[in-house]
Amino acid sequence: MDPAKIEVVQGWPTPQSVRPLRGFLSLMGYYRRFIHNYGIITTPLIALLKREAFCWTNTATTTFNALKAALTSGPVLQLPDFIAPFFIDCDASSSDFGAILHQGVGLRA
């Protein structure tokens, strides 16, 4: 990720009303597929959007900071490049099967 964009997200001010909270959730919603358990994490903030329900709490602060951290520290924030080759490492036993999908050039011969 671009360091300047990371700084902007990390420096995002705590919402003081519903309108800035909606703006923050809109940004997070755009990147929701890159945030694991997005719907579960955002539940406390979405509850604040109800009519006359905006009351910022410690739970809201924790959720707000967790979303910022999830967006700025994700291991992979891009879609796969379908032109580059994919490689699969797999392992099997009599009761289980596991696989890891890698992408890149020259990972395996």
Domain boundaries, the chain: 3-72
Q: What is the pLDDT of residue 32?
A: 86
Res 106 pLDDT > 70: no
Nearest 5°: CA angle at 62, between 68 and 43? 85
Q: Are 48 and 18 in contact (CB under 8 A)?
A: yes
Q: What is the pLDDT of residue 109?
A: 46
Q: Which residue has the higher pLDDT, 4 or 64?
A: 64
Residue type, 53: A
Distance, in Å, from the CA atom of 17 to the CA atom of 38, rounded to the nearest integer, reads 22
The half-sphere exposure of 71 on its side-chain side, counting CA atoms within 13 A, is: 26
Q: What is the pLDDT of residue 88?
A: 84
Q: What is the pLDDT of residue 65?
A: 94
Q: What is the pLDDT of residue 75?
A: 58
* CATH no., domain 3-72: 3.30.70.270
